[in-house]
């Protein structure tokens, strides 16, 4: 009897062990935003269909970067799928930290918006698949501009933007002409400021990768930024980034906001109209390009299953799954990745910003040019950029708050950037 019990127990353990081994699990590190939260619900169908259990680890953007970097640098294995942005994708791809992605014909990679695809590729190979993409644009209150007798056009001049901000600025009634990012951070104030400098003809580095922050173009752009936001922006702008301005905008306190296109889907005030980002008369506009994408770290023991999941989560099928999900609908589909999304009438009916968003993404130019000899629009796709951007961000916030003059802030920024780039061995 005892022998029988032992045999039965052994068999049970074997069966349980076999079942455990066959049940695949994926650990997915994500940033917390609306689209990612929705994905956790929509992906229940993926688990039901494939049997793959998905463990979600939601992290704040900065912590996610830190944790994924330390995991990857120590051989990986902690995560099977990671959320990364456009800044990291080409760098990590080149370093071999993330695996190249090759999907089947059904995936229709040519449907992916070219600017987004290029930004997530290294030497023509896709290393991260976009989950949602964004550019930036002007989101203004047409009711206020109409009442003030001014207008804002696509790719308007900065002078016209300032004139419009001045006309609608009414702080006594709690309305500020222009709300722009001022909070220091390479992904915060520097995202906007970099695009503004681009539009003034400036760039972060010259062809030898020497910083050019003390150039006339930077000086003109930063003087304009400090003047515009200092005079026609809300008080305490040096503490405002995306979330803070979104709250102000929805309280009816912003006449105009130039920021990520995704903001349009969160706006709840009436009378909002959209325009392409302004420029200062040269070919580069002040619109950025960003995507949150999914990649497979090189150390993942479940790379094939991870790639299969990414293929599903960034497919046309996923867009349909969100649109048809009882909790969501066409207003919740992730945008900025596939041309086919913008072709659906149902989507266009609920997303008044769709056309402006697609135009902004398509016109963003991340590739290196003579004017800007590095990849990236609101950032430079080099490993040192977060450090350079963070140092300059502090100086720009100091200039905005009046703690330093623009010239002092630019000189300090140039010195800091020069020191970082020199130490990194660029020259």
Partner 1 sequence: MAIVAQQTKFSKIFWPVLAWFIALIFFFPIFWMVLTSFKTDADAVKPEFLFTFKPTLENYLNMTANYDYWRFATNSVITSVFATGFALAVGVPCAYAMAFNPSRATKDVLMWMLSTKMLPAAAVLYPMTFLTKNFLGVFDTKFLVIVVLSLINLPIVIWMLFTYFKEIPKEIIEAGKMDGVSTWGEIKDILLPLAWGGLASTALLTFIFCWNEAYWTVRLTTTEAATLSKLIEGNRAPEGLFFGRLSAVSAAAVGPIIVLGWFCQKQLVQGLTFGAVK
The nearer residue to partner 1, 6 or 268, going by C-beta atoms, is 268
Q: Does residue 405 touch partner 1 according to CB under 8 A?
A: no
- Transcribe 54-114 into DSSP letters: EEEEEE-HHHHHHHHHHHHHTT--S-SEEEEETTHHHHHHHHTSB------GGG-GGGB-H
Stretch that binds partner 1, among 35-43, 101-109, 147-155, 398-406 (CB under 8 A): 35-43
- Residue with token string 């649109």: 323
The nearer residue to partner 1, 66 or 317, going by C-beta atoms, is 66
- Strands 256-260 and 272-276, by their bridges, are unpaired
Q: Looking at 287-401, which runs of residues are DSSP E strands?
A: 289-295
The nearer residue to partner 1, 74 or 419, going by C-beta atoms, is 74
Helix H or strand E encompassing 21: helix 2-22
Q: Does residue 60 touch partner 1 according to CB under 8 A?
A: yes
Which listed residue (50, 67, 155, 223) binds partner 1 by CB under 8 A?
A: 67
At 275, is the secondary structure helix, strand, or coil?
strand
Would you tell me the crossing angle of helices 303-313 and 316-324 to the nearest 10 degrees?
A: 60
At residue 262, φ and ψ (nearest 5 deg) are -65, -25
The nearer residue to partner 1, 188 or 238, going by C-beta atoms, is 188
Question: How far is the first Cα of the chain from the last one, in angstroms, to the nearest whole number?
Answer: 80
Judged by CB under 8 A, the chain residues 186 through 205 that form the site for partner 1 are: 187
Q: Does residue 53 touch partner 1 according to CB under 8 A?
A: no
- Residue 39 in tokens: 């994905």
Stretch that binds partner 1, among 52-60, 111-119, 335-343, 382-390 (CB under 8 A): 52-60
Stretch that binds partner 1, among 64-72, 136-144, 335-343, 359-367 (CB under 8 A): 64-72
The nearer residue to partner 1, 69 or 320, going by C-beta atoms, is 69
The nearer residue to partner 1, 17 or 75, going by C-beta atoms, is 75
Judged by CB under 8 A, the chain residues 224 through 253 that form the site for partner 1 are: 241-243, 246-247, 250-251
**170-194 core/surface letters (b: 16 or more CB in 10 A; e: else):** eeeeebbbbbbbbbbbbbbbbbbbb
The nearer residue to partner 1, 60 or 408, going by C-beta atoms, is 60
Question: Taking the complex as a whole, how short is the minimal distance between the CB of residue 55 and partner 1, in angstroms?
Answer: 5
Q: Does residue 71 touch partner 1 according to CB under 8 A?
A: yes
Instruction: Give the number of residues written for the chain.
Output: 427
Q: Does residue 379 touch partner 1 according to CB under 8 A?
A: no
Which listed residue (7, 12, 268, 405) binds partner 1 by CB under 8 A?
A: 268
**314-351 core/surface letters (b: 16 or more CB in 10 A; e: else):** bbeebbebbbebeeeebebbbbbbbeebbebeebeeeb
Stretch that binds partner 1, among 14-22, 31-39, 87-95, 106-114 (CB under 8 A): 31-39
Q: Distance between CA atoms of 162 and 145, rounded to whole angstroms? A: 12
The nearer residue to partner 1, 30 or 365, going by C-beta atoms, is 30
Alpha-carbon 411 to chain mean position: 29
Which listed residue (10, 17, 51, 75) binds partner 1 by CB under 8 A?
A: 75
Which listed residue (7, 16, 74, 102) binds partner 1 by CB under 8 A?
A: 74
Say how many residues touch partner 1, by CB under 8 A.
38
User: Footprint of partner 1 on this chain (CB under 8 A)?
Assistant: 27, 31-34, 37, 40-41, 55, 57-61, 63, 66-67, 70-71, 73-75, 77-79, 187, 241-243, 246-247, 250-251, 260, 262-263, 266, 268
């Amino acid at each position: 009897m005892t022998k029988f019990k032992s045999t039965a127990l052994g068999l049970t353990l074997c069966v349980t062990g076999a079942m455990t081994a066959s049940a695949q699990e994926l650990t997915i590190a994500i940033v917390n935003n609306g689209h990612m939260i929705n994905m956790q619900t929509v992906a229940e169908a993926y688990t039901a269909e494939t049997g793959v259990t998905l463990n979600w680890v939601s992290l704040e953007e900065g912590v996610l970067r830190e944790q994924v970097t330390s995991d990857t640098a120590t051989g990986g294995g902690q995560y099977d799928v990671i959320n990364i942005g456009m800044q990291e994708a080409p760098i990590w791809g080149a370093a071999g930290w993330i695996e190249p992605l090759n999907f089947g014909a059904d995936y229709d990679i040519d449907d992916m918006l070219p600017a987004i695809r290029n930004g997530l590729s290294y030497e023509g190979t896709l290393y991260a698949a976009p989950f949602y993409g964004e550019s930036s644009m002007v989101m203004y209150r047409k009711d206020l501009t109409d009442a003030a007798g001014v207008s804002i056009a696509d790719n308007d001049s900065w002078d016209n933007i300032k004139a419009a901000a001045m006309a609608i600025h009414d702080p006594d009634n709690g309305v500020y002409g222009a709300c722009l990012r001022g909070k220091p951070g390479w992904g915060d104030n520097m995202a906007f400021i970099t695009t503004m400098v681009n539009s003034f003809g400036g760039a972060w580095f010259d062809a030898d990768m020497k910083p050019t922050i003390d150039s006339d173009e930077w000086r003109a752009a930063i003087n304009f930024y400090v003047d515009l936001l200092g005079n026609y922006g809300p008080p305490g702008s040096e503490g405002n980034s995306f979330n803070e301005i979104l709250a102000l905008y929805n309280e009816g306190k912003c006449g105009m906001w130039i920021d990520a296109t995704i903001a349009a889907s969160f706006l709840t005030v009436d009378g909002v109209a959209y325009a392409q980002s302004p420029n200062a008369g040269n070919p580069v506009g002040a619109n950025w390009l960003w995507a949150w994408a999914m990649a497979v770290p090189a150390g993942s023991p479940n790379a094939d299953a991870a790639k299969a999941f990414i293929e599903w989560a960034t497919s046309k099928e996923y867009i349909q799954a969100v649109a048809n999900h009882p909790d969501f609908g066409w207003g919740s589909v992730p945008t900025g990745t596939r041309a086919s999304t913008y072709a659906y009438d149902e989507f266009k009916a609920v997303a008044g910003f769709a056309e402006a968003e697609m135009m902004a993404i398509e016109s963003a130019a991340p590739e290196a040019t003579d004017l800007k000899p590095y990849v990236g629009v609101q950032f430079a796709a080099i490993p040192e950029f977060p450090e350079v951007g963070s140092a300059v961000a502090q100086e720009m916030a100091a200039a905005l708050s009046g703690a330093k003059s623009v010239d002092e802030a630019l000189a300090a920024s140039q010195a800091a950037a020069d020191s970082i780039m020199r130490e990194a061995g660029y020259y």
